[in-house]
Homo-oligomer: A and B are copies of this chain.
């Protein structure tokens, strides 16, 4: 009987995946639950990852012609009342502001100054942005209207989970208006593709791109599309959505334009968003039993040096050795940005610092002691490999740093893509379907790809398993067959899975 390998995070993924997730967040010092129910505090390492995601995505959003704006945090109730389906979908989980003042009574603060009309804290901004669109759009010349905002939103979650489902979260929400349904649909799919590329190339998180079934649409949408990623426990994470809203919101909010011919038409609108939930996806895609592994493209620090000082004078020796290396590395680019290099000079024991960076998942960690200086090398740890320093000549480190980061980025993507492929099984019968889902273990759980007739009544039999349809992948074989649930004729294949 071999002794279990010691890991930096307890429990391991296999032992208890949900608890492992919480412990990785703690070990990497990314974020924590706040004393405000359901709200999180995002700490520097977590926020640095979000900033990197923002920089990348913001560039893509601007390159596709959108401009950033900022709309009010508060939405009057009357705005929500205009779109019935939207109301049904969101009314249950909103923070409601009813007063604008506090007064002290017996040393306690009591709400005062009641508002004539209560305000909700935005759960999403279709209604308040639609109101602006109705004012801004007069003629076909004003179209397409392409805006985006980076903001905080609030949905009162009953079972909050850090990064994945929090009462307050950060996101971007794009909102556009178009003259025709076709243009709006093009936009919807274009931004879905932007999300796919960002998820796969930047977060190293492979996704399945497709349309959500009708019963999973955004409240008020004609069609909703998503990217779905597989977490290491075989559950799906909806990582981004793009909605074709048709004329629902434009009719509810009177967003009209004068055509070139002088007629008047309602616009077609879209909306699309990704949030800090992506960080939860990064963790559950890439972290291991020793902590986080951050894809280099979004690592707040990509190369971290840990000086190993034992005697007086070591510090100066190592600083002199590192200075030109840090300078050369910092002048290089990776993923369109300058390399982010850091020397950890804190007065802590070197092994403690090294493990901290392992747990944080810095892609490259280099230990440098007097012997390394003498040999002109560093002891390099790649976070995607064995956690053992490899003696690496400094010139090699400097000349190959960007290539190594690119290689780590690829490794993380390939590992996740391989898992997604191997753990997605195609089945044709209900027996096979249930047999696959019988394995509900962390590493045994799978995505099932199967034909479905499209009748949501057939899903009742999945309730007891907490299985849902994630999306209808764009990639279809188009062959006729039978629905795995109802046995009726069906052509489309869908992805069934447990999910976050």
Contacts and interface: CB of A to CB of B under 8 A. Distances in A.
B91 A100 contact: no
B109 A101 contact: no
A194 B141 CA distance: 44
B96 A128 contact: no
B87 A104 contact: yes
A415 interface: no
B70 A35 contact: no
Which of under 10, 10 to 19, 20 to 34, or 35 or more describes the interface residues of A?
A: 35 or more
A330 to B, nearest CB: 13
Contacts of A152: 73, 151-152
A113 to B, nearest CB: 8
Interface stretch (A43-51, A306-314, A366-374): A43-51
Interface stretch (A74-82, A229-237, A398-406): A74-82
A325 interface: no
Nearest to A168: B73
A36 B95 contact: no
Interface in A100-140: 100-104, 107-109, 111, 113, 118-121, 128, 131-132
A97 B100 contact: no
Contacts of A59: none
A98 interface: yes
B87 A93 contact: no
A251 B100 CA distance: 28
Contact of A96 (B102, B147, B151): B102
A31 to B, nearest CB: 9
A346 B119 CA distance: 38
A317 interface: no
Interface string A53-97: 000000000000001111111111101110000010001111111
A118 B41 CA distance: 19
A76 B35 contact: yes
A207 interface: no
Nearest to A103: B91
A97 to B, nearest CB: 5
Contacts of A73: 39, 121, 152, 154, 168
Nearest to A149: B47
Which of A70, A81, A104, A132 is packed against the most chain B CB atoms within 10 Å? A70
B42 A141 contact: no
A347 interface: yes
A170 interface: yes
A56 B443 CA distance: 46
Contact of A347 (B43, B71, B95, B141): B141
A488 B375 CA distance: 74
A353 to B, nearest CB: 13
B96 A98 contact: yes
A172 to B, nearest CB: 13
A410 B359 CA distance: 49
B109 A87 contact: yes
Interface string A426-450: 0000000000000000000000000
A69 B94 contact: no
A26 interface: no
A34 interface: yes
A112 B42 CA distance: 29
A34 B100 contact: no
A161 interface: no
A40 interface: yes
A348 B139 CA distance: 13
The 6 A-B pairs at the shortest CB distance, nearest first, are namely A44-B67, A39-B72, A42-B70, A96-B99, A100-B156, A91-B102
